[in-house]
A = this chain, B = another copy of it.
Amino acid sequence: MHKKVSALVTSRAQYGRIKLLLEILNNDPAFDLQIITAGSAMLHNYGNILDEFTRDGFERVDQLYISVEGGDNIAMAKTTGMAITECTTAFQQFDPDLILINGDRFEVLGAAIAAAYTNRIIAHMEGGDVSGTIDESVRHAVTKLSHIHFVSNEISRQRILKMGEDPSHTHVVGSVDIEFLNHAPDITDLSFVNEVGVGHEIDFSSPFTMVMQHPVTTGEDNETHIGSILNAVEELDIQTIWFWPNIDAGTGAMSQAIRRFRERNHDPRIRFIVNLLSQQFINLLRRTSCLVGNSSAGIKECSYLGIPVVNIGSRQQGRLRADNVLDTDYDIESIKQGIESQLNHGVYPLSSIYYRENTSQTMADILRRATPSVQKRFLD
């Protein structure tokens, strides 16, 4: 049976990761594809993403305006309200049979509601994981609205089944993040880093660490926490590429903390970067001595690369991890000791906990054949 599929793209990073799957769907006559783009994917940092979709051969792209400014929890909630309103209209126009969403960002729950309430089948990727911040609640709520589950590992599959989902529609396919990592081209000249961002010029003939610390939306003191990491990195005096926090609620206070740090510390060996292309980011990850912070890249991508990680705080709490991850709290000394210990250890053996072969192709094959009932049932 021919299937109309709407896929949600909310950021360039996420687009990078599901692009292989989208291309398979786009080239398969069994599917008719609509891409719905919204949120930070629409920001113009690397030119208009619409041009990129055109270049990549995607014809039907709907651009949704859903992001409410404010950068705090209220803006996050209202953006999700807008996501429902606008996704519902986009679905009304295209009338898809199936919606493809992934992950646990707050607006994804809005898209899931728009789809579920208008009786469309939802395929969700990366459910069943556990973590901290509001993502933990979003991810499982989305699971309870979804019909087909693509998960990255068996433990996540077991959680989804305990939640009453249908085993015949819950599939371990591995993580698209790892698949993307495997497919990303090798970039040996990393000098692009010094052409963007501000601060210290990175010398790629010497070791460097990377820091990615994102906001925790659930009431934590994000400002103090990022301050501790800044101080720890400053005191260790290692050259560092620091990625600006993402735009989740709390980002404002974190940005101010970074700005104040930069005013006080005139020459730290840190380069601050807002954004890179996904393939650029992957190539830095392959060469860094240590990743510090609370990004899922530390848990997922780095497990497969064996890169040492210092994982700080609650954001990744409970997520399945390999040996490469060392957890610390927000204490400056703990962070410093963690980084030193990981630098001393060096690269870990590759782990396949998040890896399966042919992740995207497997999903496309399942989507082609799947016919779940739109009416869900809790299976005891």
Interface residues of A (CB under 8 A from B): 42-44, 63, 65-71, 73-78, 80-86, 88-89, 92-93, 106, 109-110, 113-114, 116-119, 130, 132-134, 136-137, 140-145, 159, 162-164, 217-219, 249, 252, 256, 314, 317-318, 374-378, 380
Q: A74-B88, A81-B110 are in contact. Are A116 and B134 (CB under 8 A)?
A: yes
User: Could you list 24 A-B pairs, sorted by A, with CB under 8 Å?
Assistant: A42-B70, A44-B252, A44-B256, A73-B117, A74-B88, A76-B117, A77-B113, A81-B82, A81-B84, A81-B85, A81-B88, A82-B85, A84-B84, A93-B93, A117-B249, A136-B375, A136-B377, A137-B144, A137-B145, A140-B144, A159-B378, A159-B380, A162-B164, A318-B377
Q: Please state if A376 and B137 are interface contacts (CB–CB under 8 Å).
A: yes
Total identical chains: 4
Closest B residue to A378 by beta carbon equals: B130
Q: Please state if A89 and B88 are interface contacts (CB–CB under 8 Å).
A: no
CB distance from A294 to the nearest CB of B (A): 13
Known pairs A77-B117, A117-B217, A162-B162; list 16 more (Cβ under 8 Å). A42-B69, A44-B71, A65-B68, A65-B75, A69-B69, A77-B85, A78-B84, A81-B81, A81-B84, A81-B88, A84-B84, A89-B89, A136-B377, A162-B164, A218-B374, A318-B378
Residues of chain B lying within 8 A (CB to CB) of residue A117: 73, 76-77, 80, 106, 134, 217, 249
Residue in B118, B133, B317, B374 whose beta carbon sits within 8 Å of that of A74 in the complex = B118
Residues of chain B lying within 8 A (CB to CB) of residue A374: 218-219
Instruction: Name A's interface SS.
Output: helix
Q: A261 CA to B69 CA in the complex, in Å?
A: 28
Q: Please state if A68 and B68 are interface contacts (CB–CB under 8 Å).
A: yes
CB distance from A45 to the nearest CB of B (A): 10
Q: A76 CA to B134 CA in the complex, in Å?
A: 25
Q: A75 CA to B114 CA in the complex, in Å?
A: 10
Residues of chain B lying within 8 A (CB to CB) of residue A145: 137, 141
In this complex, which of A78, A109, A110, A114 has the most chain B Cβ atoms within 10 angstroms of its Cβ?
A78
In this complex, which of A75, A76, A89, A374 has the most chain B Cβ atoms within 10 angstroms of its Cβ?
A89
Q: A374-B219, A375-B219 are in contact. Are A82 and B68 (CB under 8 A)?
A: yes
Q: A378 CA to B139 CA in the complex, in Å?
A: 11
Residues of chain B lying within 8 A (CB to CB) of residue A144: 137, 140-141, 143-144, 163
Residues of chain B lying within 8 A (CB to CB) of residue A142: 141
Q: A375 CA to B374 CA in the complex, in Å?
A: 31
Q: Please state if B67 and A68 are interface contacts (CB–CB under 8 Å).
A: yes
